Structure 1
């Protein structure tokens, strides 16, 4: 009924165990799915087949889970920090900064042999990461710090619009960059390898540790900023710490996979719909849910139209948008939230 807790609410730790089990099964399926369908022979008898399984499919699948976990964690942080269920990891200009970083690197460095050497060293992943940090830094500068959450949100919107317009001007002036930019905007897991896994795994552990350390402050923020301050929460320090954590997580995920839609927005909603708990539990569960969502979308993107691949960002947008529409419909007509 409307206003009551969901009848099928899970406890946090059984739900975490279920998400991890489902993630393990999805990882095995991801290793088995290729351009020709399912390949369940994981023996090393064929060196070529073994290389495909363990050097391409396994790091791609594990990397997809890690990227989704980073986005799910970042989404839970932003929604808790700004007390806004519509907040997502691409808040505060992070997505627009990443796009601008990629567009600038392609336009400035991609046209000459010397530029291509620098682009090869820096990589589009590095350009996207630097662009993400630049976008968030610009939003913080415009907001004159982290003291006012509404000012931060408005600054993020303004930075996103302005940087997006600059990116569009660059791509119009350099039409050769459109194809690469399209792949980045739609998201892809095709280029994930073992170095990406090491990087994303380390960032996930660091961001999760910071977020869990501030989880009690997020719980206090649910009661309002005045109440949180009366409970001894140093809002300025907590906001800055959490913004750094979600910017680092978002920048790393975007740098490795491009701009994948809806994972960071849907994962915390999915967890809250299944389980009522503290932010410590929500952060862990959102990371696992985000990883499972992106890995499942990656498997579908490879399997639905094999041997061709669909952009994984299109799959996440369809699945995530459909879930949110269903959730809104149930709440509108008094179903379980």
Structure 2
């Protein structure tokens, strides 16, 4: 690692945690009722100032901010893992079909409504259907890609694209036959949103995030070796098939859970890892945790803007992530091309 790269990594470890902290406080403070940072800290500490600050923070904004940070971090880490696994910086979680499968499951649950509610009982039916749909899609992709000679990354990629296209066509059929109210619900869900945030949702996404964080030290090094190619990785002692299987399971669980609790939020898993890689380099031991910090910050800022740009109307957060991230992404790509 060069001196310039070491400086870039150190700078990233200073900037991104501060950015995340500022974004989190802003997400809790800004809204229909503005709260000062001191009111936010007092409410987080459980102090009651006699007003509404404590109720606003603890009942409404805190679970939403936690969910935004967790979903952003999970999507970014999953994107970085897949880009390393496919050795392609343009890869994202949708390429293995999990996002499309989860979206299909959720849309089917919205369309069927009461019939699906009888199956899931008191559980949130759309979230459960989304999670099950995502896992089934990944299981199908992995089943087709796996053979006696190992798991073909190319076959997995092509099968993921096929599953995504098939799921998209089925979603289109459901939208065509849905009534106006159901069509609106499907459309809003497909654009992603955090309006249904709750502490159980936040706890669930952070449980998944903890699993991803725990895997980083081990799989960060394995992904670095895989950059040399599968044959070289095997010669260097990496159990390539085990790494592939474990990473696919982790990504499926992460993205499936994210889509289940927040809808389909595109762009984060594609661009955040790529932006961080352009900044700090391809070392996954640094790339994975820094991507988590950047992804959490992006979704916090995006959700804050989605709630406040045309308040009291909320915009879908997926639209805001693209509007914010694309200019930065294009700028980084331009600078990267200029430096080479």
Residue 230 (str. 1) matches residue 207 (str. 2): no
Alignment of 1:174-189 (within 5 A): 174-175=178-179, 176-189=181-194
Q: Distance in 1 between matches of 2:31 and 2:142?
A: 43
Residue 272 (str. 1) matches residue 268 (str. 2): no
Structure 1 unaligned regions, length at least 5: none
Other-structure match for 1:64: 68
Structure 2 unaligned regions, length at least 5: 43-47
Other-structure match for 2:338: 335
**What number of residue pairs does the alignment pair up?**
328
Contact 1:103 1:177 in 2 (8 A): no
Q: TM-score, normalised by structure 1?
A: 0.90
After TM superposition, give the deviation of residue 116 of structure 1 in Å: 6.4
Q: 2:258 aligns with which of 253, 257, 261?
A: 253
Other-structure match for 1:156: 160
Q: 1:141 aligns with which of 129, 143, 166?
A: 143
Q: Distance in 1 between matches of 2:6 and 2:266?
A: 27
Residue 94 (str. 1) matches residue 91 (str. 2): no
After TM superposition, give the deviation of residue 18 of structure 1 in Å: 2.4
Q: Distance in 1 between matches of 2:282 and 2:89?
A: 16
CA 1:244–1:8: 2 relative to 1, 3 Å: closer
Contact 1:139 1:156 in 2 (8 A): yes
After TM superposition, give the deviation of residue 118 of structure 1 in Å: 4.1
Higher relative contact order (CA 8 A, sep 6+): 1
SS in 2 for 1:87: coil
SS in 2 for 1:90: helix
Other-structure match for 1:54: 58
Contact 2:93 2:269 in 1 (8 A): yes
Contact 1:297 1:316 in 2 (8 A): yes
Q: 1:73 aligns with which of 56, 63, 77?
A: 77
After TM superposition, give the deviation of residue 313 of structure 1 in Å: 0.6
Residue 29 (str. 1) matches residue 26 (str. 2): yes
Q: Distance in 1 between matches of 2:332 and 2:283?
A: 21
Q: Distance in 2 between matches of 1:6 and 1:318?
A: 34
After TM superposition, give the deviation of residue 101 of structure 1 in Å: 0.4
Q: Distance in 1 between matches of 2:227 and 2:14?
A: 27
Q: Distance in 1 between matches of 2:97 and 2:292?
A: 22
Other-structure match for 1:39: 35
Alignment RMSD (CA, Å): 2.3
Residue 325 (str. 1) matches residue 322 (str. 2): no
Contact 1:212 1:283 in 2 (8 A): no
Other-structure match for 1:314: 319
